Amino acid sequence: MRKVIVLLSGGMDSATLLWLAKREFEKVWAISFHYGQRHSVELKYAKELAKLAGVEDHIVVEIPTYRSIKGSALIDDRVEVPKGEYPENEPPITTVPMRNLNFLAVAGAFADSLGIDHIGIGVHALDTPYPDCRPEFITSAEAAINAGSVLVAKEKRRIHIWAPFLGMTKREIALLGKELGVPFEKTYSCYMGTEPPCGECPTCVQRKEALEGIL
Ligand SMILES: [Zn+2]
């Protein structure tokens, strides 16, 4: 049986991934993280989305350690969230160091213990300024998870990182989401964590462009 655990932030990409997972897999779990992010309000949206998608279970994991890591606008209150578009070729100030490595490791632990053979992550072609969203990182993380997995060692099965949006733009994800019936009005992405969203931070700008004419 094909099973997947999907990393769900509550934003439009991971919501689309969750809806795609419902179409592609027989059993679907969702996992979200409270890591002291400025926009922890996103977890409220993640919970609602997981409920609407009818997942087997929605696991919410606390990683409080991140609050003591300095320098990222998403976890350090002294650093301001920038306005406008992402920088082209360098890690933005909103990078949370090793975030996806931590998320994938924890999801890998649940996959191992629950016998789930896929971990879904919604990284896409426009995420490449973030080092831990690049294809080479995903490949390396998959290798590490398989090397350290009890499931793999015992049952000679592999755990796959399922990242179907790697070659897709955010607009293409939005169009796929529309086709899948993703309730985009119930997704949330703003780095400021305000309700309604600020409309000016990099992720608000990207989201607005991607969903134009759809939402
Ligand atoms: Zn915003």
Residue 89 confidence (pLDDT) above 80: no
Cis peptide before 196 (omega within 30 of 0): yes
Long-range contacts of residues 97-104, Cβ cutoff 8 Å, at least 24 apart: 97/69, 97/72, 98/132, 99/35, 99/66, 99/132, 100/132, 100/133, 100/137, 100/141, 101/132, 101/137, 101/141, 102/33, 102/35, 102/63, 103/7, 103/31, 103/33, 104/7, 104/141, 104/145, 104/161
Sign of the four-CA dihedral 10, 126, 137, 87: negative
Instruction: Specify the pLDDT at position 59.
Output: 98
Choose which CATH entry (2.40.50.140, 3.40.50.620, 3.90.226.10, 3.40.50.300) describes domain 3-211: 3.40.50.620
Q: How confident is the model at residue 12 (pLDDT cuts 50, 70, 90)?
A: very high
Instruction: Specify the pLDDT at position 174.
Output: 98
CA 198 / ligand 1 centre spacing (Å) = 4
Domains in the chain: boundaries: 3-211
CA 112 / ligand 1 centre spacing (Å) = 35
User: What pTM did the predictor assign?
Assistant: 0.96
DSSP 36: S
CA 78 / ligand 1 centre spacing (Å) = 17
